[in-house]
Structure 1
Amino acid sequence: MVTITDVAREAGVSRATVSYVLSGKRMISEPVSRRVREAVTSLGYTPNAGARALATSQTKVLALMARFLSDEFAPAMLEFIRAVTDAARELGYDTLLVSDENAAEALRRVAASRMVDGIVLLNVGETDDRLPILGRIDQPSALIGLPANPEGSIVFDLDFRSAGRLMVNHLRAYDHREVILVSQPRDVVDRGGAYVWRLAAGAEETADQLDMILHHHHAAASQPDVGRRLHELLDQHPDATAILLNNEAAAAALPFVLRERGLRAPDDVSVIGRYSDDFARAFSLPYTAVDSAAAELGRRAVARLIAAIEDGLPGDALQLLPPVLTDRGSVARPASR
């Protein structure tokens, strides 16, 4: 790897002179500056983030604050990480992934280091302990996930309440009257995962309006617990004709559970999930689903954050993406009983 020492030797100057030329911190004569630039080009030297920051006041790096939690399905989280890193790369930014368990302290540390120009937060809770820190740091930030008070923040999320309504309305159009909703583990809600109760609230409100019975339950985020839970719920509600899934682990496990019970969708039970097209392909899921919009949320959040960094746009925006349902034929009218 070419170093600043190699550039200095090639140009016949000191390391300090190379640093001054690259950072612009001191005036260096044009002949000397030209020799340094030519050495940089011929050797293929790439200044590190610190030197670039001195020259431009930007590092062209975004911090991605993500928490890998045991009660959430890791493949679903990885979709959002990929979405953010892909969007950043397309716009000329690198991404620093920070997954420290002490997320608030990690946020303070990263902001103070000046290693990044902006910050993207995932796993945003209803009352997230990282949010108060955002108002005390210089770098702008963007949230993927809706907190209780989004004022003053750049926030992007799926409209989960509307997603719940859409799922129930789709079932009612096929004359379903008794439904099981399987949500993320209770711990996720207790920790502030408001997307869980928002979707459930939309589903329950709509079911009440349509005179439907909706049984709302939580399930684990890993096997074998989630599979056992699905069996329990199907035994507990034998008259239910459809299942709604706001739990990616449950969606991945359901094909095996139905096969073990000799059931098929939609012949015996209708199914609607909430996950992305990529997730459906990765786990070969044949179910109609509301798109979790990971790619679109990542793209929009990163683009808006970079606009705040480069163009000084206000750090205050809220967008809830309307849910989009992909029909994969897993919903049909209930079989006569």
Structure 2
Amino acid sequence: MATIGDVAAAAGVSRSTASYALSGKRSISEGARRRVLEAAEALGYTPNAGARALATSQTMVLGLLARFHADEFAPAMTQYILGVTDTARDLGYDTLLVTEPDGAGALRRITDSRMVDGVVLLNVAHDDPRLPVLRAAPQPGALVGLPGDCSGVDVFDLDFEQAGRVMVDRLHGLGHRELILVSQPEHVVERGGAYVWRLRDAALERARRLGVRLHAVYGESRRPAAERMLGALLDARPGATGLLLDNEAAAAALPSVTRARGLEGLSVVGRYSAEFAETFALPYAYVELAPDRLGEMAVRQLVRRIESAQARAEPFVVRLVPAELTSPPS
């Protein structure tokens, strides 16, 4: 029985282009579409999902395991999910989103049943219980988030250590010598959110080297608790002239707090995405979180491994996106 790869080869196009032509998920040139359809007819290819899975052992579906934790800011997670699903669609793959609390059990179920061709993990913990299952699965996996042990998977994340250093450097360069760092809630750290301590520890070390006094605290995940927390911090640290925000809820709440207190001149550096900054009209410098870019990188690498025997034999990669500082809007 002919496969999608046979059709693509006969038509002189890539597998993803052949998939687009047969599924209609994306516009392609009329000439390419016609060649694909003619090749599919000549080879007797049936673009039925069940028949395709039986013939090729491929489903053209990627598994995406994510969780919406109550103590994290949900809109930030949505940006990662869109980065994954949009790229998967562009490459001719559907996405199966799995949000079950038992992530390891859900992962074992979808990989053992061959429901997916590969898996992307979000909400990656330092000692993530899903990783042993993914390493043992026949399908390849990619992570958005840096675990303690990166073996057996491709890993993509922001360079949070560099982000912490960049944030301190920014305010030190503006002359500030006492700062407050607001991190994610403590529960995020307790369940293994390594990105929190990676940024915090790097920021504290940089501040120490520069002679800056840095107060590191855990924040809240929702308003109005975030507003109350910020107000209490500013009252408790009257000598602090700058804020570092590794907490989206605190960043979204800060403008109303500073307006109410007449602190519009407070220097702030955040860590979030450009879309987040635009959505909440945040007037601060920030380190770009790049959730869409990270999702795209993970999916493209995963699809390479799915579609190429040569790519499957390549060493696994750990790629950290450099921390880029964006100036506040003028």
* TM > 0.5 fold call: yes
Give 1:141's aligned residue: 141
TM-aligned CA deviation for residue 37 of structure 1: 5.6
Tell me, yes or no, if structure 1 residue 296 matches structure 2 residue 293: yes
Q: Percent identity?
A: 54
TM-score normalized by structure 1? 0.82
Question: CA contact under 8 A between 1:50 and 1:115: conserved in structure 2?
Answer: no
TM-score normalized by structure 2? 0.84
Tell me, yes or no, if structure 1 residue 183 matches structure 2 residue 180: no
- Name structure 1 gaps, 5 residues minimum: 1-33, 331-337
Q: CA distance change for structure 1 residues 138 and 315 in 2, over 3 Å: closer, same or farther?
A: farther
Determine the C-alpha separation between the residues in 1 that align with 2:308 and 2:254.
47
Equivalences for residues 73-84 of structure 1 within 5 A: 73-84=73-84
TM-aligned CA deviation for residue 51 of structure 1: 2.0
Question: CA contact under 8 A between 1:245 and 1:251: conserved in structure 2?
Answer: yes
Determine the C-alpha separation between the residues in 2 that align with 1:248 and 1:111.
33
| Higher mean displacement: 175-184 or 281-290 | 281-290
TM-aligned CA deviation for residue 226 of structure 1: 1.1
Tell me, yes or no, if structure 1 residue 216 matches structure 2 residue 213: no
TM-aligned CA deviation for residue 151 of structure 1: 2.0
Give 1:287's aligned residue: 284
Equivalences for residues 59-98 of structure 1 within 5 A: 59-98=59-98
Corresponding residue pairs, total: 288
Following superposition, which runs of at least 4 residues in structure 1 exceed 6 angstroms of deviation? none
AA at the equivalent of 1:319: R
CA-to-aligned-CA distance 1:218-249 (integer Å, 9 cap, x gap): 11101111111011100010010000000011
AA at the equivalent of 2:327: D
Question: CA contact under 8 A between 1:153 and 1:315: conserved in structure 2?
Answer: no
AA at the equivalent of 1:282: T
Give 1:328's aligned residue: 328
Give 1:234's aligned residue: 234
Give 2:15's aligned residue: none
Give 2:126's aligned residue: 126
Question: CA contact under 8 A between 1:152 and 1:317: conserved in structure 2?
Answer: no
Determine the C-alpha separation between the residues in 2 that align with 1:315 and 1:58.
23
AA at the equivalent of 2:61: V
AA at the equivalent of 1:232: A
Considering only aligned residues, what root-mean-square deviation do their CA atoms show, in Å?
1.9
Determine the C-alpha separation between the residues in 2 that align with 1:272 and 1:70.
25
TM-aligned CA deviation for residue 302 of structure 1: 0.6
TM-aligned CA deviation for residue 304 of structure 1: 0.5
Equivalences for residues 237-248 of structure 1 within 5 A: 237-248=237-248
- Name structure 2 gaps, 5 residues minimum: 1-37
Determine the C-alpha separation between the residues in 2 that align with 1:253 and 1:96.
33
Equivalences for residues 167-206 of structure 1 within 5 A: 167-206=167-206
Q: CA distance change for structure 1 residues 315 and 99 in 2, over 3 Å: closer, same or farther?
A: farther
Bigger radius of gyration: 1
Please give the secondary structure, in 1, of the residue aligned with 2:115.
coil
